[in-house]
Amino acid sequence: MCIGSGMGAVVVFERGMLLITSATLDESFDDEDSKMKSYITRQFKKFMKNANGKGFDKDCRQSSSSQFKGQDKGKKDAKEGDVVEEEELVESKFEKMDDQDDIYTAYEKLYKLSEKHEKLYRLTTKKLSDVELDREELFTKFDEANQTIGALRFENNFLAEKTKKLEAELCQVRAQMERTSSAKLDEMLSI
């Protein structure tokens, strides 16, 4: 009996077994098919749990009759300890299935978290490369400024020496002017 089909998957329930077959040969749909299979399997397990309380194991087969001995005999004939034991087995099986669902959910959350971290990593590396470029530009400007400062210091020293020479020449010219003016003054006074 066919339960449903979708996204390239056909779900069939035969002789107490849930069979999921893929109708497509394209490998690009394998991931979607596996997600669909696991989703349908989980939904069917939940349906069966709610419908009659019988669970299914990992291979999607009905649980073995040895686990449910008391159900074949009827609840009237079974001992109360067997019923409690059977209920515990069924509950533990459903807890395992719920844990498996929790594992899938946790995996999906971790996958989404890893995608967020990857995006953050990309943004951070982009910002880091931008900062590195800015640092290189600043380093280049710093080197240029240092070279300019060195050139200005050299020119300042050169101009300081030239100023000293000009001051020395000015002193000599003044001294010479004083001698010349005092000689002319002496000459004028002596006439």
Tell me if 121 is assigned to some domain: no
**Residue 3, pLDDT above cutoff 80:** no
Alpha carbons 39 and 118: distance in angstroms, whole number: 27
Q: What would you measure as the largest C-alpha separation in the chain, in angstroms?
A: 164
Range of the domain at 19: 1-62
Alpha carbons 82 and 191: distance in angstroms, whole number: 155
Residue 87 contacts residue 69 (beta carbons within 8 Å)? no
Tell me if 106 is assigned to some domain: no
First to last CA, the chain: 150
Tell me if 9 is assigned to some domain: yes
**Residue 172, pLDDT above cutoff 50:** yes
Tell me if 87 is assigned to some domain: no
**Number of structural domains found in the chain:** 1
User: Between 131 and 25, where is the model more confident?
Assistant: 131
State the pTM of this model. Answer: 0.35
Tell me if 101 is assigned to some domain: no
Residue 81: the pLDDT is 57
Tell me if 175 is assigned to some domain: no
Alpha carbons 51 and 45: distance in angstroms, whole number: 10
Residue 67: the pLDDT is 46
Tell me if 72 is assigned to some domain: no
**Residue 142, pLDDT above cutoff 90:** yes
3-state secondary structure 60-108: CEECCHHHHHHHHHCCCCCCHHHHHHHHHHHHHHHHHHHHHHHHHHHHH
Strands 2-6 and 17-22: unpaired
- Angle at 88 (CA atoms; ends 83, 93), nearest 5 degrees: 125
Pick the closest to residue 97 from 132, 63, 72 (CA basis): 63
Tell me if 20 is assigned to some domain: yes
